[in-house]
Chains A and B, each alone.
Chain A
Amino acid sequence: MSMGLDSLKHVVVLMMENRSFDHMLGSLKADDSRINGLTGNESNPDTTNEPATVQPLAEFQSQLDPDPNHDFADVNQQLFLGTPGPPAVASMQGFVQNYFQVQKDVDHSRKIMYYFTKDKLPVLTTLASSFAVFNGWFSSIPGPTICNRAFAHYGTSFGKVTMDPFDVVEPYVSIYERLLLDNHTAKLYYFDQASSTMEVVNLLKNQPQIFATYDEFLEDCKAGTLPDYSFVEPNYSDHSGDDGAEELASDQHPDHDVQAGEIYIASVYNAIHENPALWASTALLIVYDEHGGIFDHVPPPSCTPDGFVAPATDTGIGQPFAFDRLGVRVPAILVSPWVAKATVVPGPEDPVNGRIFEHASIPGTVTKFFIGDYDNRSPREKAAATFLDLLGDQQRPDSDCPVFNLD
Protein backbone atom coordinates (compact mmCIF):
# COMPACT_ATOMS: atom_id res chain seq x y z
CA MET A 1 0.00 0.00 0.00
CA SER A 2 1.32 3.45 -0.89
CA MET A 3 1.86 6.11 1.75
CA GLY A 4 -0.91 8.11 0.13
CA LEU A 5 -3.37 5.26 0.53
CA ASP A 6 -2.10 4.64 4.02
CA SER A 7 -2.89 8.26 4.90
CA LEU A 8 -6.30 8.27 3.23
CA LYS A 9 -9.31 8.67 5.51
CA HIS A 10 -11.85 10.55 3.39
CA VAL A 11 -13.14 10.33 -0.16
CA VAL A 12 -15.16 13.29 -1.46
CA VAL A 13 -16.99 13.28 -4.80
CA LEU A 14 -18.31 16.49 -6.34
CA MET A 15 -20.58 15.76 -9.28
CA MET A 16 -21.35 18.66 -11.60
CA GLU A 17 -23.83 18.81 -14.48
CA ASN A 18 -23.95 18.35 -18.22
CA ARG A 19 -20.66 19.31 -19.84
CA SER A 20 -18.45 17.13 -22.04
CA PHE A 21 -14.71 16.61 -21.68
CA ASP A 22 -13.80 18.43 -24.89
CA HIS A 23 -16.09 21.38 -24.08
CA MET A 24 -14.38 22.01 -20.72
CA LEU A 25 -10.88 20.55 -21.01
CA GLY A 26 -10.34 20.00 -24.74
CA SER A 27 -8.16 23.12 -24.97
CA LEU A 28 -5.53 21.57 -22.69
CA LYS A 29 -4.20 19.36 -25.47
CA ALA A 30 -2.42 22.41 -26.87
CA ASP A 31 -0.35 22.60 -23.66
CA ASP A 32 0.02 18.89 -22.98
CA SER A 33 -0.23 16.47 -25.87
CA ARG A 34 -0.92 13.61 -23.44
CA ILE A 35 -4.36 15.07 -22.77
CA ASN A 36 -6.84 13.67 -25.27
CA GLY A 37 -8.48 16.98 -26.10
CA LEU A 38 -9.05 18.83 -29.32
CA THR A 39 -6.73 19.40 -32.28
CA GLY A 40 -9.02 22.16 -33.57
CA ASN A 41 -9.90 20.18 -36.69
CA GLU A 42 -12.78 18.14 -35.29
CA SER A 43 -16.10 18.81 -36.97
CA ASN A 44 -19.69 17.69 -37.41
CA PRO A 45 -21.90 18.26 -40.45
CA ASP A 46 -24.69 20.78 -39.94
CA THR A 47 -28.12 20.31 -41.46
CA THR A 48 -26.94 21.90 -44.73
CA ASN A 49 -24.12 19.32 -44.73
CA GLU A 50 -21.48 22.00 -44.20
CA PRO A 51 -18.81 21.10 -41.62
CA ALA A 52 -19.13 22.85 -38.26
CA THR A 53 -15.66 22.86 -36.74
CA VAL A 54 -14.87 23.08 -33.05
CA GLN A 55 -14.28 26.69 -32.01
CA PRO A 56 -12.79 28.16 -28.79
CA LEU A 57 -15.82 30.39 -28.40
CA ALA A 58 -17.74 28.90 -25.49
CA GLU A 59 -19.27 31.50 -23.20
CA PHE A 60 -20.37 31.27 -19.59
CA GLN A 61 -24.06 31.70 -20.34
CA SER A 62 -26.70 32.32 -23.02
CA GLN A 63 -25.09 30.17 -25.67
CA LEU A 64 -26.71 26.79 -25.01
CA ASP A 65 -30.25 27.97 -24.54
CA PRO A 66 -32.52 26.06 -24.90
CA ASP A 67 -30.94 23.11 -23.14
CA PRO A 68 -29.46 20.69 -25.68
CA ASN A 69 -31.38 17.42 -25.87
CA HIS A 70 -29.71 14.41 -24.28
CA ASP A 71 -32.33 11.75 -23.83
CA PHE A 72 -31.29 8.29 -24.94
CA ALA A 73 -32.60 8.65 -28.50
CA ASP A 74 -30.99 12.08 -28.91
CA VAL A 75 -27.64 10.82 -27.70
CA ASN A 76 -28.00 7.90 -30.08
CA GLN A 77 -28.21 10.39 -32.96
CA GLN A 78 -25.29 12.40 -31.57
CA LEU A 79 -23.16 9.26 -31.44
CA PHE A 80 -24.17 7.30 -34.49
CA LEU A 81 -25.13 9.71 -37.29
CA GLY A 82 -23.97 8.26 -40.59
CA THR A 83 -23.51 4.75 -39.24
CA PRO A 84 -25.85 1.75 -39.07
CA GLY A 85 -26.07 2.46 -35.31
CA PRO A 86 -24.98 0.30 -32.43
CA PRO A 87 -23.03 -1.95 -32.20
CA ALA A 88 -21.01 0.00 -34.79
CA VAL A 89 -18.28 2.30 -33.48
CA ALA A 90 -19.80 5.71 -32.79
CA SER A 91 -19.05 8.37 -35.43
CA MET A 92 -19.53 11.31 -32.99
CA GLN A 93 -20.95 13.19 -36.00
CA GLY A 94 -24.49 13.94 -34.92
CA PHE A 95 -24.21 16.64 -32.25
CA VAL A 96 -24.88 19.63 -34.51
CA GLN A 97 -27.79 18.09 -36.38
CA ASN A 98 -29.32 16.98 -33.10
CA TYR A 99 -28.99 20.45 -31.57
CA PHE A 100 -30.59 21.95 -34.67
CA GLN A 101 -33.84 20.30 -33.61
CA VAL A 102 -34.31 22.55 -30.57
CA GLN A 103 -34.34 25.89 -32.41
CA LYS A 104 -34.27 25.07 -36.13
CA ASP A 105 -31.45 27.58 -36.55
CA VAL A 106 -28.32 26.40 -38.34
CA ASP A 107 -25.97 29.02 -36.88
CA HIS A 108 -27.23 28.32 -33.37
CA SER A 109 -26.84 24.56 -33.82
CA ARG A 110 -23.13 24.98 -34.58
CA LYS A 111 -22.52 26.33 -31.07
CA ILE A 112 -22.73 22.80 -29.71
CA MET A 113 -19.14 22.48 -31.05
CA TYR A 114 -17.81 25.42 -29.00
CA TYR A 115 -15.28 24.80 -26.25
CA PHE A 116 -13.76 26.87 -23.45
CA THR A 117 -10.30 28.32 -23.63
CA LYS A 118 -8.09 27.53 -20.66
CA ASP A 119 -8.12 31.10 -19.33
CA LYS A 120 -11.92 31.07 -18.99
CA LEU A 121 -11.90 28.09 -16.62
CA PRO A 122 -8.99 28.81 -14.27
CA VAL A 123 -10.26 26.46 -11.56
CA LEU A 124 -11.04 23.36 -13.58
CA THR A 125 -8.04 23.65 -15.89
CA THR A 126 -5.63 24.39 -13.04
CA LEU A 127 -6.84 21.36 -11.11
CA ALA A 128 -6.63 19.20 -14.24
CA SER A 129 -3.09 20.36 -14.90
CA SER A 130 -1.97 20.14 -11.27
CA PHE A 131 -3.42 16.80 -10.23
CA ALA A 132 -4.78 13.82 -12.22
CA VAL A 133 -7.01 14.23 -15.26
CA PHE A 134 -8.73 11.20 -16.77
CA ASN A 135 -8.66 10.82 -20.56
CA GLY A 136 -11.18 8.01 -20.33
CA TRP A 137 -13.92 8.77 -17.82
CA PHE A 138 -17.31 8.23 -19.47
CA SER A 139 -20.85 8.75 -18.29
CA SER A 140 -22.40 5.40 -17.45
CA ILE A 141 -25.31 5.59 -19.91
CA PRO A 142 -25.68 7.42 -23.24
CA GLY A 143 -28.55 9.35 -21.74
CA PRO A 144 -29.66 11.92 -19.17
CA THR A 145 -28.94 12.88 -15.56
CA ILE A 146 -31.00 10.75 -13.19
CA CYS A 147 -29.96 7.35 -14.53
CA ASN A 148 -26.33 8.45 -14.75
CA ARG A 149 -26.29 9.75 -11.18
CA ALA A 150 -27.86 6.45 -10.11
CA PHE A 151 -24.65 4.72 -11.16
CA ALA A 152 -22.69 6.98 -8.81
CA HIS A 153 -24.98 6.16 -5.90
CA TYR A 154 -25.79 2.48 -6.57
CA GLY A 155 -23.42 1.21 -9.29
CA THR A 156 -26.46 0.64 -11.51
CA SER A 157 -29.60 2.44 -12.67
CA PHE A 158 -31.72 -0.70 -12.22
CA GLY A 159 -32.55 -0.82 -15.92
CA LYS A 160 -33.50 2.83 -16.34
CA VAL A 161 -32.22 5.00 -19.20
CA THR A 162 -34.54 7.93 -18.58
CA MET A 163 -35.19 10.73 -16.10
CA ASP A 164 -37.98 8.75 -14.44
CA PRO A 165 -37.65 7.65 -10.83
CA PHE A 166 -36.24 4.14 -10.50
CA ASP A 167 -37.01 1.36 -8.09
CA VAL A 168 -34.11 -0.08 -6.12
CA VAL A 169 -33.84 -3.81 -6.78
CA GLU A 170 -32.45 -6.16 -4.14
CA PRO A 171 -29.81 -7.16 -3.31
CA TYR A 172 -28.23 -3.89 -4.39
CA VAL A 173 -28.10 -0.99 -1.95
CA SER A 174 -26.57 2.46 -2.19
CA ILE A 175 -22.95 3.13 -1.34
CA TYR A 176 -24.16 5.09 1.70
CA GLU A 177 -26.10 2.12 3.09
CA ARG A 178 -23.18 -0.20 2.48
CA LEU A 179 -20.83 2.05 4.38
CA LEU A 180 -23.18 2.63 7.30
CA LEU A 181 -23.84 -1.11 7.64
CA ASP A 182 -20.08 -1.64 7.77
CA ASN A 183 -19.70 0.92 10.58
CA HIS A 184 -18.35 3.64 8.34
CA THR A 185 -19.70 7.14 7.92
CA ALA A 186 -21.18 8.73 4.80
CA LYS A 187 -23.10 11.86 3.90
CA LEU A 188 -24.75 13.28 0.85
CA TYR A 189 -24.45 17.07 0.96
CA TYR A 190 -26.96 19.12 -1.04
CA PHE A 191 -26.54 22.87 -1.47
CA ASP A 192 -29.62 24.07 0.42
CA GLN A 193 -33.25 23.10 0.82
CA ALA A 194 -34.32 25.10 -2.23
CA SER A 195 -31.86 23.27 -4.43
CA SER A 196 -32.06 19.93 -2.61
CA THR A 197 -30.94 16.70 -4.25
CA MET A 198 -31.50 14.78 -7.47
CA GLU A 199 -31.94 11.55 -5.50
CA VAL A 200 -35.43 12.40 -4.27
CA VAL A 201 -37.64 9.36 -4.56
CA ASN A 202 -35.32 6.83 -2.96
CA LEU A 203 -32.64 8.33 -0.73
CA LEU A 204 -34.21 11.61 0.41
CA LYS A 205 -37.57 9.97 0.99
CA ASN A 206 -36.31 6.86 2.75
CA GLN A 207 -32.99 7.84 4.30
CA PRO A 208 -33.02 11.55 5.10
CA GLN A 209 -30.50 10.93 7.87
CA ILE A 210 -27.67 10.58 5.35
CA PHE A 211 -28.26 14.11 4.02
CA ALA A 212 -26.66 17.36 5.08
CA THR A 213 -26.19 20.78 3.50
CA TYR A 214 -23.27 22.51 1.83
CA ASP A 215 -22.96 24.80 4.85
CA GLU A 216 -22.51 21.69 6.99
CA PHE A 217 -19.91 20.41 4.53
CA LEU A 218 -17.93 23.59 5.08
CA GLU A 219 -18.31 23.24 8.83
CA ASP A 220 -17.29 19.57 8.73
CA CYS A 221 -14.19 20.42 6.71
CA LYS A 222 -13.22 23.16 9.14
CA ALA A 223 -13.84 21.01 12.20
CA GLY A 224 -12.21 17.92 10.74
CA THR A 225 -15.45 15.97 11.07
CA LEU A 226 -15.95 14.99 7.47
CA PRO A 227 -17.34 11.45 7.12
CA ASP A 228 -15.42 8.66 5.45
CA TYR A 229 -17.34 9.25 2.23
CA SER A 230 -18.99 12.48 1.07
CA PHE A 231 -20.98 13.14 -2.08
CA VAL A 232 -21.48 16.84 -2.81
CA GLU A 233 -24.21 18.25 -5.05
CA PRO A 234 -24.12 21.76 -6.54
CA ASN A 235 -26.87 24.37 -6.48
CA TYR A 236 -29.31 23.46 -9.23
CA SER A 237 -31.31 26.71 -9.44
CA ASP A 238 -31.14 30.48 -9.24
CA HIS A 239 -33.11 31.33 -6.11
CA SER A 240 -33.23 33.59 -3.12
CA GLY A 241 -31.69 32.14 0.01
CA ASP A 242 -33.27 32.07 3.44
CA ASP A 243 -31.51 35.35 4.20
CA GLY A 244 -32.59 36.94 0.92
CA ALA A 245 -29.19 36.53 -0.71
CA GLU A 246 -29.07 35.75 -4.40
CA GLU A 247 -28.02 32.11 -4.73
CA LEU A 248 -26.70 31.59 -8.24
CA ALA A 249 -26.98 28.08 -9.66
CA SER A 250 -23.55 26.48 -9.56
CA ASP A 251 -24.24 23.19 -11.34
CA GLN A 252 -23.03 24.46 -14.76
CA HIS A 253 -26.11 22.89 -16.35
CA PRO A 254 -26.97 24.93 -19.46
CA ASP A 255 -27.96 27.76 -19.31
CA HIS A 256 -26.57 28.38 -15.81
CA ASP A 257 -23.47 30.50 -15.43
CA VAL A 258 -20.34 28.37 -15.76
CA GLN A 259 -18.31 30.83 -13.68
CA ALA A 260 -20.58 30.18 -10.69
CA GLY A 261 -19.66 26.52 -10.99
CA GLU A 262 -15.98 27.42 -11.11
CA ILE A 263 -16.39 29.21 -7.79
CA TYR A 264 -18.26 26.28 -6.31
CA ILE A 265 -15.56 23.80 -7.34
CA ALA A 266 -12.91 26.12 -5.91
CA SER A 267 -14.84 26.50 -2.65
CA VAL A 268 -15.04 22.73 -2.16
CA TYR A 269 -11.32 22.42 -2.93
CA ASN A 270 -10.43 25.31 -0.62
CA ALA A 271 -12.53 23.92 2.24
CA ILE A 272 -10.51 20.71 2.16
CA HIS A 273 -7.20 22.38 1.43
CA GLU A 274 -7.46 24.89 4.27
CA ASN A 275 -7.47 22.14 6.90
CA PRO A 276 -3.96 20.64 6.69
CA ALA A 277 -4.87 17.36 8.39
CA LEU A 278 -7.91 16.95 6.16
CA TRP A 279 -5.96 17.87 3.05
CA ALA A 280 -3.37 15.19 3.74
CA SER A 281 -6.00 12.52 4.29
CA THR A 282 -8.58 13.25 1.57
CA ALA A 283 -9.04 12.38 -2.08
CA LEU A 284 -11.42 14.67 -3.98
CA LEU A 285 -12.94 13.53 -7.27
CA ILE A 286 -14.53 16.23 -9.44
CA VAL A 287 -16.66 14.69 -12.18
CA TYR A 288 -19.62 15.59 -14.43
CA ASP A 289 -22.69 13.39 -14.61
CA GLU A 290 -23.08 13.44 -18.39
CA HIS A 291 -22.28 15.52 -21.46
CA GLY A 292 -25.59 17.37 -21.75
CA GLY A 293 -25.73 16.99 -25.54
CA ILE A 294 -22.42 18.84 -26.03
CA PHE A 295 -19.77 17.58 -28.48
CA ASP A 296 -16.96 15.24 -27.54
CA HIS A 297 -14.75 13.50 -30.08
CA VAL A 298 -14.03 10.15 -28.36
CA PRO A 299 -16.38 7.25 -29.20
CA PRO A 300 -17.67 5.66 -25.99
CA PRO A 301 -16.39 2.12 -25.54
CA SER A 302 -18.30 -1.06 -24.81
CA CYS A 303 -18.50 -2.32 -21.25
CA THR A 304 -19.63 -5.22 -19.11
CA PRO A 305 -23.44 -5.60 -19.42
CA ASP A 306 -25.30 -4.57 -16.32
CA GLY A 307 -27.66 -7.52 -16.06
CA PHE A 308 -30.65 -5.24 -16.70
CA VAL A 309 -32.20 -4.50 -20.08
CA ALA A 310 -34.05 -1.28 -20.88
CA PRO A 311 -36.97 -1.96 -23.23
CA ALA A 312 -37.25 -0.34 -26.64
CA THR A 313 -40.17 1.71 -25.34
CA ASP A 314 -37.77 3.44 -22.96
CA THR A 315 -34.80 3.86 -25.31
CA GLY A 316 -36.87 5.43 -28.08
CA ILE A 317 -34.63 3.94 -30.77
CA GLY A 318 -36.66 0.84 -31.53
CA GLN A 319 -34.15 -1.42 -29.78
CA PRO A 320 -33.63 -2.48 -26.17
CA PHE A 321 -30.43 -1.50 -24.40
CA ALA A 322 -28.36 -4.01 -22.40
CA PHE A 323 -26.15 -1.43 -20.66
CA ASP A 324 -23.25 -2.85 -22.61
CA ARG A 325 -21.70 0.43 -23.77
CA LEU A 326 -20.94 3.69 -22.04
CA GLY A 327 -22.16 7.25 -22.54
CA VAL A 328 -20.24 10.30 -23.71
CA ARG A 329 -16.91 11.23 -22.09
CA VAL A 330 -16.99 13.77 -19.26
CA PRO A 331 -14.37 15.76 -17.31
CA ALA A 332 -12.97 13.95 -14.28
CA ILE A 333 -10.14 15.09 -12.03
CA LEU A 334 -8.70 13.42 -8.93
CA VAL A 335 -7.24 15.87 -6.41
CA SER A 336 -4.93 14.92 -3.55
CA PRO A 337 -1.48 16.00 -2.39
CA TRP A 338 -0.50 12.37 -2.92
CA VAL A 339 -1.23 12.53 -6.66
CA ALA A 340 1.85 13.19 -8.76
CA LYS A 341 1.80 16.60 -10.40
CA ALA A 342 0.32 16.74 -13.90
CA THR A 343 -0.82 13.14 -13.98
CA VAL A 344 -2.69 12.22 -17.14
CA VAL A 345 -4.52 8.90 -16.83
CA PRO A 346 -4.56 7.44 -20.34
CA GLY A 347 -7.87 6.37 -21.84
CA PRO A 348 -8.95 4.55 -24.98
CA GLU A 349 -6.43 6.45 -27.10
CA ASP A 350 -3.78 4.21 -25.52
CA PRO A 351 -4.59 0.58 -26.38
CA VAL A 352 -1.81 -0.71 -24.10
CA ASN A 353 -2.03 1.37 -20.92
CA GLY A 354 -5.42 3.05 -21.33
CA ARG A 355 -8.02 2.68 -18.57
CA ILE A 356 -11.76 3.19 -18.79
CA PHE A 357 -13.67 4.73 -15.90
CA GLU A 358 -17.38 5.42 -15.48
CA HIS A 359 -19.62 6.44 -12.60
CA ALA A 360 -19.82 2.87 -11.28
CA SER A 361 -16.12 3.42 -10.57
CA ILE A 362 -17.22 5.67 -7.70
CA PRO A 363 -19.04 3.14 -5.50
CA GLY A 364 -16.59 0.54 -6.77
CA THR A 365 -13.61 2.51 -5.50
CA VAL A 366 -15.22 3.58 -2.23
CA THR A 367 -16.41 0.04 -1.47
CA LYS A 368 -13.02 -1.47 -2.24
CA PHE A 369 -11.19 1.00 -0.03
CA PHE A 370 -13.48 1.18 2.99
CA ILE A 371 -15.17 -2.22 2.97
CA GLY A 372 -13.05 -4.56 0.88
CA ASP A 373 -14.69 -7.69 -0.50
CA TYR A 374 -18.36 -7.04 -1.15
CA ASP A 375 -20.41 -9.22 -3.43
CA ASN A 376 -23.86 -7.65 -3.72
CA ARG A 377 -22.92 -5.29 -6.49
CA SER A 378 -23.95 -4.92 -10.11
CA PRO A 379 -21.79 -6.59 -12.77
CA ARG A 380 -20.93 -3.12 -14.06
CA GLU A 381 -19.64 -1.98 -10.69
CA LYS A 382 -17.68 -5.17 -10.14
CA ALA A 383 -15.97 -4.65 -13.49
CA ALA A 384 -15.43 -0.89 -13.09
CA ALA A 385 -11.89 0.43 -12.78
CA THR A 386 -10.97 1.99 -9.44
CA PHE A 387 -8.81 5.07 -9.05
CA LEU A 388 -7.12 5.27 -5.65
CA ASP A 389 -3.96 3.64 -7.02
CA LEU A 390 -3.18 7.16 -8.29
CA LEU A 391 -2.20 8.10 -4.74
CA GLY A 392 1.53 7.54 -4.46
CA ASP A 393 4.28 7.71 -1.85
CA GLN A 394 5.22 11.38 -2.15
CA GLN A 395 3.16 14.09 -0.49
CA ARG A 396 3.52 17.26 -2.48
CA PRO A 397 4.35 20.41 -0.53
CA ASP A 398 1.65 23.03 -0.25
CA SER A 399 3.69 25.40 -2.36
CA ASP A 400 3.20 22.93 -5.20
CA CYS A 401 -0.61 22.96 -4.92
CA PRO A 402 -2.92 25.74 -6.12
CA VAL A 403 -4.85 28.08 -3.86
CA PHE A 404 -7.98 29.74 -5.19
CA ASN A 405 -8.66 33.33 -4.27
CA LEU A 406 -12.43 33.85 -4.28
CA ASP A 407 -12.49 37.42 -2.93
Chain B
Amino acid sequence: MSTPANVIHVPRPSRSSFNPNRPLTGNLLLQEQIKHFHRLEKELPEEQQTGIPFESITTEGEASAYVRKLTAVLHPQGARKEKVRKAT
Protein backbone atom coordinates (compact mmCIF):
# COMPACT_ATOMS: atom_id res chain seq x y z
CA MET B 1 0.00 0.00 0.00
CA SER B 2 1.40 3.38 -0.89
CA THR B 3 1.36 6.21 1.60
CA PRO B 4 2.09 9.89 1.04
CA ALA B 5 5.49 9.28 2.55
CA ASN B 6 6.62 6.87 -0.14
CA VAL B 7 5.08 8.55 -3.19
CA ILE B 8 7.75 10.37 -5.16
CA HIS B 9 6.66 12.94 -7.70
CA VAL B 10 8.81 12.82 -10.84
CA PRO B 11 9.04 16.09 -12.75
CA ARG B 12 8.54 16.00 -16.50
CA PRO B 13 11.20 17.35 -18.86
CA SER B 14 10.76 20.70 -20.51
CA ARG B 15 8.88 20.52 -23.82
CA SER B 16 11.74 22.41 -25.38
CA SER B 17 13.98 19.39 -24.77
CA PHE B 18 12.57 17.60 -27.80
CA ASN B 19 14.85 18.24 -30.75
CA PRO B 20 14.79 15.75 -33.64
CA ASN B 21 16.86 18.26 -35.58
CA ARG B 22 19.80 17.81 -33.20
CA PRO B 23 22.87 17.16 -35.38
CA LEU B 24 24.15 13.61 -35.32
CA THR B 25 27.66 14.95 -34.97
CA GLY B 26 26.90 15.52 -31.29
CA ASN B 27 26.00 11.89 -30.57
CA LEU B 28 28.67 9.30 -31.23
CA LEU B 29 26.33 6.46 -30.31
CA LEU B 30 23.66 7.24 -32.89
CA GLN B 31 26.33 7.74 -35.53
CA GLU B 32 27.56 4.23 -34.87
CA GLN B 33 24.09 2.72 -34.67
CA ILE B 34 23.22 3.89 -38.17
CA LYS B 35 26.59 2.65 -39.44
CA HIS B 36 25.67 -0.80 -38.14
CA PHE B 37 22.28 -0.60 -39.81
CA HIS B 38 23.90 0.60 -43.03
CA ARG B 39 26.26 -2.39 -43.03
CA LEU B 40 23.29 -4.66 -42.52
CA GLU B 41 21.19 -2.91 -45.17
CA LYS B 42 23.76 -3.70 -47.83
CA GLU B 43 23.14 -7.41 -47.22
CA LEU B 44 19.39 -7.10 -47.72
CA PRO B 45 17.57 -7.76 -51.01
CA GLU B 46 17.17 -4.57 -53.00
CA GLU B 47 13.43 -4.42 -52.43
CA GLN B 48 14.01 -4.32 -48.67
CA GLN B 49 16.59 -1.54 -48.78
CA THR B 50 15.48 1.92 -47.73
CA GLY B 51 16.67 3.93 -50.70
CA ILE B 52 17.85 6.57 -48.24
CA PRO B 53 21.34 7.83 -49.13
CA PHE B 54 23.40 7.15 -46.02
CA GLU B 55 25.28 10.42 -46.36
CA SER B 56 22.01 12.36 -46.22
CA ILE B 57 21.37 11.34 -42.58
CA THR B 58 22.54 14.26 -40.49
CA THR B 59 20.00 14.65 -37.67
CA GLU B 60 18.46 12.47 -34.95
CA GLY B 61 15.10 12.61 -36.67
CA GLU B 62 16.58 11.44 -39.95
CA ALA B 63 18.55 8.71 -38.20
CA SER B 64 15.46 7.43 -36.40
CA ALA B 65 13.47 7.36 -39.66
CA TYR B 66 16.22 5.27 -41.23
CA VAL B 67 16.44 2.96 -38.19
CA ARG B 68 12.65 2.57 -38.15
CA LYS B 69 12.53 1.42 -41.78
CA LEU B 70 15.23 -1.19 -41.33
CA THR B 71 13.92 -2.44 -38.00
CA ALA B 72 10.52 -2.84 -39.61
CA VAL B 73 12.12 -5.15 -42.15
CA LEU B 74 14.06 -7.16 -39.59
CA HIS B 75 11.43 -7.20 -36.86
CA PRO B 76 8.01 -6.37 -38.32
CA GLN B 77 6.42 -7.60 -35.10
CA GLY B 78 7.68 -4.39 -33.48
CA ALA B 79 5.13 -2.20 -35.22
CA ARG B 80 3.07 -0.50 -32.57
CA LYS B 81 -0.26 -2.20 -32.10
CA GLU B 82 -1.94 0.11 -29.66
CA LYS B 83 -0.99 2.86 -27.32
CA VAL B 84 -0.49 1.40 -23.85
CA ARG B 85 1.58 4.07 -22.24
CA LYS B 86 2.02 7.75 -21.82
CA ALA B 87 4.65 9.38 -24.00
CA THR B 88 7.93 9.90 -22.21
Q: A residues near B, CB below 8 A?
A: 17-18, 60-61, 65-67, 69-70, 122-123, 126, 144-146, 163, 165, 190, 192-198, 200-201, 204-205, 208, 211-215, 218-219, 235-243, 245-251, 253-255, 257, 259-260, 262-264, 266-267, 397-406
Q: Which of A145, A254, A401, A406 contacts B32 (CB 8 A)?
A: A145
User: Which residues in B have their C-beta under 8 angstroms from that of A213?
Assistant: 78, 80
User: Which residues in B have their C-beta under 8 angstroms from that of A66?
Assistant: 25-26
User: Which residues in B have their C-beta under 8 angstroms from that of A264?
Assistant: 88
Q: Which of B13, B39, B78 contacts A60 (CB 8 A)?
A: B13
B residues 19-64 near A (Cβ < 8 Å) are 19-20, 22, 25-30, 32-33, 35-37, 39-40, 60-61, 63-64
User: Which residues in A have their C-beta under 8 angstroms from that of B1?
Assistant: 397-399
Q: Which residue of B lies closest to A211 (CB)?
A: B75
Supply 15 further A-B pairs (C-beta < 8 A) apart from A198-B33, A267-B88, A399-B3.
A67-B28, A144-B32, A192-B78, A195-B67, A196-B68, A196-B70, A201-B39, A208-B74, A215-B84, A215-B85, A238-B18, A238-B61, A248-B18, A404-B8, A406-B86
Q: B29 contacts A192, CB within 8 Å?
A: no
| A89 to B: closest C-beta gap in Å | 28
Q: Which of B6, B29, B74 contacts A17 (CB 8 A)?
A: B29
Whether A193 contacts B18 in the complex (CB less than 8 A), given A17-B29, A163-B28, A205-B40, comes out as no
User: Which residues in A have their C-beta under 8 angstroms from that of B7?
Assistant: 402-405
User: Which residues in A have their C-beta under 8 angstroms from that of B67?
Assistant: 193-196, 237
Q: What is the interface residue range for chain B against chain A?
A: 35 or more
Q: How many A-B residue pairs have CB under 8 A?
A: 193
Q: B29 contacts A242, CB within 8 Å?
A: no
User: Which residues in A have their C-beta under 8 angstroms from that of B88?
Assistant: 235, 247-248, 250, 260, 263-264, 267
Q: B72 contacts A193, CB within 8 Å?
A: yes
Q: A195 contacts B13, CB within 8 Å?
A: no
Q: A195 contacts B64, CB within 8 Å?
A: yes
| Contact sample, A vs B, 29 pairs, CB 8 Å cutoff | A17-B29, A18-B29, A60-B13, A61-B17, A69-B28, A146-B32, A163-B35, A193-B80, A194-B65, A196-B71, A208-B75, A211-B78, A215-B85, A237-B20, A237-B63, A238-B18, A238-B19, A239-B64, A247-B88, A248-B18, A250-B88, A253-B27, A263-B12, A398-B1, A399-B6, A400-B6, A403-B2, A403-B7, A404-B10
User: Which residues in A have their C-beta under 8 angstroms from that of B33?
Assistant: 196, 198, 200, 236
| B49 to A: closest C-beta gap in Å | 14
Closest 4 CB pairs of A and B: A239-B64, A194-B68, A194-B64, A257-B17
Distance A165 CA – B13 CA, assembled complex (angstroms)? 33
Q: B18 contacts A246, CB within 8 Å?
A: yes
| A406 to B: closest C-beta gap in Å | 5
Q: B74 contacts A205, CB within 8 Å?
A: yes
User: Which residues in A have their C-beta under 8 angstroms from that of B80?
Assistant: 192-193, 213, 215, 241-243
| A58 to B: closest C-beta gap in Å | 15
Distance A393 CA – B81 CA, assembled complex (angstroms)? 40
User: Which residues in A have their C-beta under 8 angstroms from that of B11?
Assistant: 122, 259
Q: Which residue of B lies closest to A163 (CB)?
A: B32
Distance A236 CA – B36 CA, assembled complex (angstroms)? 15
Q: B6 contacts A402, CB within 8 Å?
A: yes
User: Which residues in B have their C-beta under 8 angstroms from that of A400?
Assistant: 6
| B45 to A: closest C-beta gap in Å | 14
User: Which residues in A have their C-beta under 8 angstroms from that of B75?
Assistant: 193, 204, 208, 211
User: Which residues in A have their C-beta under 8 angstroms from that of B74?
Assistant: 204-205, 208
